[in-house]
Structure 1
């Protein structure tokens, strides 16, 4: 067990050093520390028999004071109350049943950070959702992580296909940025593929939720216990990027790429046309058949489903399925305008202002919208204007919600005070979802950075934890839940990387089948 802990701390130490931690900030004792602009992160080895851990802090020329008593072995100490540009000393004690054990002391400094360093920090912390927070048996992304450990549906080990697909882009970015080694990343991908090969599938298509312990379906609803074509498309979007990443590697890496290729070829997209109709259907169940009968029609988050269905090397659908089903025989064209920004496409149920912002994220983690166009729209224009309209709605703030403005905007699907909702202009409950602005950073870099700065510097620990920004917040309701959702964290790390290097876009678009599918559907790509 000791060897495992030591290996873990070597990995974490490397991650901290990559993020700019100086030698004096990495303690030689059992505590690891890293100072940022507004917080210090501490980690330490678990102590056998410890009931809790007490953290003490002192500034220069002062005495230690107790900071917190916690059961976890990681602590993010937001130090706004102590000042800025600080040199702090910490010590940690393990509280045993009848004794106290010291883990040592360490000194760390907080410092000012550039926007690039702030972005690096946010991306790294969000990456950890998919690395450290993954379900251990499958390596897949947990559907949700609640930091208080409260899971009313006992679903802490339920994994999500779509959220995992989003997270795959983040894992590749983590390898490229040396947050984990290439070998470690490869082993994680192997575990995920092992699991997906043996998990329940329905004509090659996975379910929305899967039990991480055994690969069995976790029903998403009473008649939704089979294949989920859209969530599986989100997953395959990420898997194809992984395939492209490894296909020219060593023999083991090529073998993994080939296994992904077999999963891709096994997806029977034609089955999900209900026998040759000119539309794709979202669900099929071995127990309920086509009972849900949910045809996938645009425009919303699902465009990648049609692109992949047309691109399949084994079960491709004809172009007519895209044009008649998704594009509704041309009725997808909208050409509406709000706040001076034109929406070329008619967004389902939201023709005036556009739908929730995840519609401009989910299909475009791999599918590159830069210069992408067909006879219905220019997709960069659609996505950028969609984002600007959503932002301006929050800036105008007709609802008078506290906190809204140029540095706090973004409505999308997320937790809300009473459950879960698809927040959007016209259906605004006073809840801001950080993923909305953060995942829009390729479209609105300056505007998105304003939100990042505001959330980190002004809201601090209310909104930021071990896996990055929490899922949602409402200053209006003084509501700051410490909860995460994979489908919201994934686009953050993927789209930040696309903004910085274009990595996910370049990998996915390099797949020859995708290029052939886009050609078949009449897409063109021009320089933006």
Structure 2
């Protein structure tokens, strides 16, 4: 019988007083043959998975910086000695997870504050370029670790994910104790120093990379639609280094070319936007997650799309493809779907209906809970009740698995663990959406770009 994990910690509020807990503190129900003995409600199951996933960014944090490790391999088998490498974007997701941990009483508010204060102190001294952080740092030194030979400078997309998270932290602590107010002020200073306008490269588009050694050699102008919408929203919202609206409309929206054919339909669902390189089915599901961890898609629209409808339809197309399962991969179905970028049987892949390798990434369906609550909950229960130990570890569900290939690696990636806990909490309470959307700059930036924000329940 598959082992179930039932945390004693979820009784009352005892967890909040415990602080940093042993990730192995569980009740082993292996010997219990009566499945009712380990029954768990949907609400408790979500709390359990949030708790375990939270540990990636708490217990599993890089110890010097407090930032999120790029990866963690529970089998201790790494492609290189990189346990000390932290990721800026994944850490942006991680600081949001710390706020979830406080609100869920996994840790105390003071513990969360101390952790975030430590990270911001490290961040103030770490490498940045025109205020823009690199994709990777050495957590022990704060020095950039090149992501590729020419990518050894500022990464504006990853910086935007980090800024998205830090603005949530700022909003959370801005009216708190004297120490918390100071932390919020220091975050505000870092935010104001990000030179979004520099990354225009004197054009009406934003460029992903710039390096003091290689300049604009990467030559990656960011055009939509993909995971980068948040970068343009933040660039428009910046109080010090803002971009004009035409950079969004001419660059990101490709002078209207981002708009999809009105007749587009897949499995009965329409996508308002042309997804780069995957127009028919939509791209990997993280395109509907990363930009929307803080940016609330409910009631959000512009001249190009209704973002709630678009993201929900993107998710439903991905799900229906897996149910149809044209390649007949083992395990796919109503209770097991979700194609997105993750580890893969061939290293790493941006899984989608147009790049289907028989690999399911748990973050895909879990991070889609706001869009497809009933459908995603079925997946969550299947993962927990039927696959159990094969895919669930100390830091939540492992990054990816394949029943087709009998492949169950015990590996995690920060950029996949983060969206799972954040979007689960957004589904339950809207915590991060509320924090981010209450920032005054965000409403101003959205208005500048022509967005309409309608309040919804």
TM-score normalised to structure 1 length: 0.82
What are the residue-to-residue correspondences of 1:456-467 with 2, within 5 Å? 456-467=384-395
Q: Deviations along 1:143-192, whole A, 9 cap, x unmatched?
A: 00000111121111100000010111111011011110010000000011
What are the residue-to-residue correspondences of 1:197-346 with 2, within 5 Å? 197-274=124-201, 276-334=202-260, 335=262, 336-346=264-274
Q: Deviations along 1:403-444, whole A, 9 cap, x unmatched?
A: 000000000000001200000012100000000000000000
| Residue of structure 2 equivalent to 1:20 | 11
User: Unaligned 5+ residue runs, structure 2?
Assistant: 1-5
- Contact kept in structure 1, 2:7 and 2:25, CA below 8 Å: no
Corresponding residue pairs, total: 444
Q: Partners in 2 of 1:296 and 1:479 — Cα distance? A: 34
What are the residue-to-residue correspondences of 1:62-141 with 2, within 5 Å? 74=24, 79-80=29-30, 82-84=32-34, 111-141=38-68
TM-score normalised to structure 2 length: 0.94
Q: How many Å apart are 1:75 and its aligned residue? A: 7.2
| Residue of structure 1 equivalent to 2:351 | 423
Runs (4+) of structure 1 exceeding 3 A deviation are: 15-18, 73-82
Q: Partners in 1 of 2:331 and 2:449 — Cα distance? A: 43
Q: 3-state DSSP class of the match of 1:343?
A: coil
Q: Partners in 2 of 1:411 and 1:17 — Cα distance? A: 33
Q: Deviations along 1:295-339, whole A, 9 cap, x unmatched?
A: 000000000000000000000010000000000000000142100
Q: Partners in 2 of 1:354 and 1:467 — Cα distance? A: 29
Q: How many Å apart are 1:139 and its aligned residue? A: 0.5
Which structure has the higher relative contact order (CA within 8 Å, separation 6+)?
2
Q: Partners in 1 of 2:421 and 2:46 — Cα distance? A: 10
From 182, 186, 191, the counterpart of 2:113:
186
Q: 3-state DSSP class of the match of 1:344?
A: coil
Q: How many Å apart are 1:387 and its aligned residue? A: 0.1
What are the residue-to-residue correspondences of 1:337-416 with 2, within 5 Å? 337-416=265-344
Q: 3-state DSSP class of the match of 1:218?
A: coil
Structure (1 or 2) with the larger CA radius of gyration: 1
- Contact kept in structure 2, 1:76 and 1:465, CA below 8 Å: no
Q: Partners in 1 of 2:111 and 2:183 — Cα distance? A: 14
Q: How many Å apart are 1:368 and its aligned residue? A: 0.4
Name the structure where strand makes up a greater proportion of residues.
Answer: 1
CA RMSD of aligned residues (A): 1.8
Q: 1:75 to 1:480 in 2, by over 3 A?
A: farther
Q: Partners in 1 of 2:384 and 2:7 — Cα distance? A: 19
- Contact kept in structure 2, 1:356 and 1:413, CA below 8 Å: yes
Q: Partners in 2 of 1:520 and 1:405 — Cα distance? A: 43
Q: 3-state DSSP class of the match of 1:210?
A: strand
Q: 3-state DSSP class of the match of 1:420?
A: strand
User: Unaligned 5+ residue runs, structure 1?
Assistant: 1-14, 24-31, 33-41, 44-72, 87-109
Q: 3-state DSSP class of the match of 2:117?
A: helix
Q: Partners in 2 of 1:111 and 1:476 — Cα distance? A: 29
Q: 3-state DSSP class of the match of 1:333?
A: coil
Q: Deviations along 1:10-53, whole A, 9 cap, x unmatched?
A: xxxxx965412899xxxxxxxx9xxxxxxxxx95xxxxxxxxxx
| Residue of structure 1 equivalent to 2:90 | 163
Q: How many Å apart are 1:77 and its aligned residue? A: 7.3
| Residue of structure 2 equivalent to 1:525 | 453
| Residue of structure 2 equivalent to 1:60 | none
Q: Partners in 2 of 1:418 and 1:153 — Cα distance? A: 17
Q: Deviations along 1:220-245, whole A, 9 cap, x unmatched?
A: 00110000000000000000000000
Q: Partners in 2 of 1:476 and 1:77 — Cα distance? A: 31
